[in-house]
């Protein structure tokens, strides 16, 4: 199953050095039966993109937590897409949520999706208000939308060391 795993730049650096990606609490997002049922239309590609966007939003939460702990990496959403077999569906959490059985080795990673430099300011602003947006604050939701207007760039896993070096 193709899964989309929320990440941060610091987590991508760890992936690069350790050769595997350990999602926080084993949590990822995927095109699950519950996600498919929640949409009235859309092909597989469109629904997988919806799961990727859920992972990108979760990336904001991870970034906010890192920044509270003093992390100073660039403010860019990151998502690791991988093909894994050991997945448990978690519709009790959300329609696209899955739980992985363990870390994902580099060889199972299909791509890495990361914001471009132009998105840093709105992404940082969104990370600061993500909790308020979740609680229904309309201004925070607008700020979140500004960040989500930016498309994530696609990188092959082989490009990751070069990408990180150029940050």
Query: What are the residue boundaries of the structural domains of the chain, listed by start?
Result: 2-115
| CATH architecture assigned to 2-115 | Alpha-Beta Barrel (3.20)
pLDDT in tens, 91-149: 888 999 999 999 999 999 999 999 999 999 999 999 999 999 989 999 999 999 999 99
- The model's pLDDT over 79-99, given as tens digits with 9 standing for 90+, comes to 999 999 989 999 888 999 999
Give the pLDDT band of residue 71 (cuts 50, 70, 90): confident
CB 107 within 8 A of CB 25: no
Relative to beta strand 27-30, strand 109-114 is unpaired
Residues of the chain with pLDDT > 70: what percent?
Answer: 100
Q: Bin 117: left if φ > 0, else alpha if -120 < ψ < 50, else beta.
A: alpha
């Amino acid at each position: 199953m193709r899964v989309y795993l929320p990440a941060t730049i610091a987590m991508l650096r760890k992936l690069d050095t350790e050769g595997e990606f350990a999602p926080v609490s084993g949590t990822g997002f995927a095109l699950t039966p519950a996600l498919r049922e929640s949409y009235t239309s859309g092909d597989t590609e469109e629904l997988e993109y919806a799961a990727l966007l859920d992972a990108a939003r979760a990336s904001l939460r991870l970034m906010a937590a890192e920044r509270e702990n003093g992390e100073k990496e660039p403010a860019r959403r990151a998502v690791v897409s991988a093909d894994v077999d050991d997945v448990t569906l978690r519709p009790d959490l959300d329609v696209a949520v899955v739980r992985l059985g363990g870390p994902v080795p580099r060889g199972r990673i299909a791509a890495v999706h990361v914001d471009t430099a132009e998105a840093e300011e709105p992404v940082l602003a969104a990370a600061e208000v993500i909790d308020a947006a979740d609680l229904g604050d309309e201004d925070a939701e607008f700020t979140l939308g500004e960040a989500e207007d930016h498309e994530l760039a696609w990188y092959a896993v082989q490009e990751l060391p070069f990408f990180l070096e150029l940050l």
